[in-house]
Amino acid sequence: MVKNRKKRKALVQQSYCVACGCCVKVCPVGAIQIMNGITAQADPSTCIGCGKCAKECPASVIEIQEVED
Ligand code: SF4
Ligand code: SF4
Judge contact between 42 and 28, C-beta under 8 A: no
Ligand 1 centroid to Cα of residue 13, in Å, is 14
Q: What is the pLDDT of residues 16-61, one digit of tens each?
A: 999 999 999 999 999 999 999 999 999 999 999 999 999 999 999 9
DSSP conformation class of 69: -
| Ligand 2 pocket test target in 16, 18, 41 with most atoms within 8 Å of CB | 18
Q: Residue 13 — very low, low, confident or very high, per pLDDT cuts 50/70/90?
A: very high
Q: Which domains does the chain have, with CATH numbers?
A: 15-68 (3.30.70.20)
Task: Identify the bridge partners of residue 7 per DSSP, sorted by sequence position.
Answer: 67
